[in-house]
Structure 1
Amino acid sequence: MLAMTLLYWLQPWEPSPTVMICTLLAAVLFVRGKRHARVSLARQISFWFGLGALYVVLHTRLDYYFEHEFFMHRAQHLVLHHLGPFFIALAYPGAALRAGIPFKWRQRFVRPVLAARPVRVALDIVMHPVVAVGLFVGLIYFWLFSPIHFIAMLDWRLYRVMNWSMVIDGLLFWWLVLDSRPAPPARLSPGKRVLVVIAAIPAQIVLGAFIFFTPRELYPVYSICGRAFTWLSPIRDQQIGGLLLWIPGSMMSVIGALVALRHWMRLSARGRLQQDRRAGVRAAEGAPPKEGRTLRT
Structure 2
Amino acid sequence: MNLLYWLDPWEFSPTVVIALLVPAILFVRGARRAKVSAARRISFWFGLVALYVALHTRLDYFFEHEFFMHRAQHLVLHHLGPFFIALSYPGAALRAGIPFSWRQRFVRPALATPVVRKLLDVVMHPVVAVTLFVGLIYFWLMSPIHFVAMLDWRLYRVMNWSMVIDGLLFWWLVLDPRPAPPARLSPGKRVLVVIAAIPPQIILGAFIFFTPHELYPIYSICGRAFTWLSPMRDQQIGGLLLWIPGSMMSVIGALLALRHWMRLSARGRLRGERRAKAAQALTRTAAAPAGGDR
Extract unaligned runs of 5+ from structure 2. Answer: 285-294
1:128 to 2:155 alignment: no
1:104 to 2:106 alignment: no
> How far, CA to CA, are the matches of 1:154 and 1:193 in structure 2?
37
> How far, CA to CA, are the matches of 1:63 and 1:159 in structure 2?
11
| Residue 48 of structure 1, CA deviation | 0.1
Corresponding residue number in structure 2 for 1:181: 178
Query: Among residues 254, 257, 260, which one is paired with 1:257 in the alignment?
Result: 254
* SS of residue matched to 2:2: helix
Q: In the TM superposition, what whole-angstrom CA distance separates every residue of 1:163-196 from its partner, at most 9, and x where no partner exists? A: 0000000000000000000000000000000000
| Residue 22 of structure 1, CA deviation | 1.1
> How far, CA to CA, are the matches of 1:24 and 1:124 in structure 2?
28
Amino acid at match of 2:121: D
Percent of residue pairs identical: 84
Query: Among residues 84, 87, 99, which one is paired with 1:87 in the alignment?
Result: 84
> How far, CA to CA, are the matches of 2:8 and 2:278 in structure 1?
59
- Calculate the TM-score normalised by the size of structure 2: 0.96
Amino acid at match of 2:244: I
Q: How many residues align?
A: 285
1:207 to 2:216 alignment: no
Extract unaligned runs of 5+ from structure 1. Answer: 288-297
Corresponding residue number in structure 2 for 1:59: 56
Amino acid at match of 2:41: Q
Q: In the TM superposition, what whole-angstrom CA distance separates every residue of 1:89-119 from its partner, at most 9, and x where no partner exists? A: 0000000000000000000000000000000
Query: Among residues 146, 149, 160, which one is paired with 1:152 in the alignment?
Result: 149
Corresponding residue number in structure 1 for 2:292: none
| Residue 45 of structure 1, CA deviation | 0.1
| Residue 210 of structure 1, CA deviation | 0.1
Q: Which has the larger radius of gyration?
A: 2
Matches within 5 A, 1:1-297: 5-286=2-283
Over the residues paired in the alignment, what is the CA RMSD in angstroms?
0.9
| Residue 5 of structure 1, CA deviation | 1.0
> How far, CA to CA, are the matches of 2:206 and 2:20 in structure 1?
34
| Residue 23 of structure 1, CA deviation | 1.1
| Residue 7 of structure 1, CA deviation | 1.1
Q: In the TM superposition, what whole-angstrom CA distance separates every residue of 1:46-99 from its partner, at most 9, and x where no partner exists? A: 000000000001000000000000000000000000000000000000000000
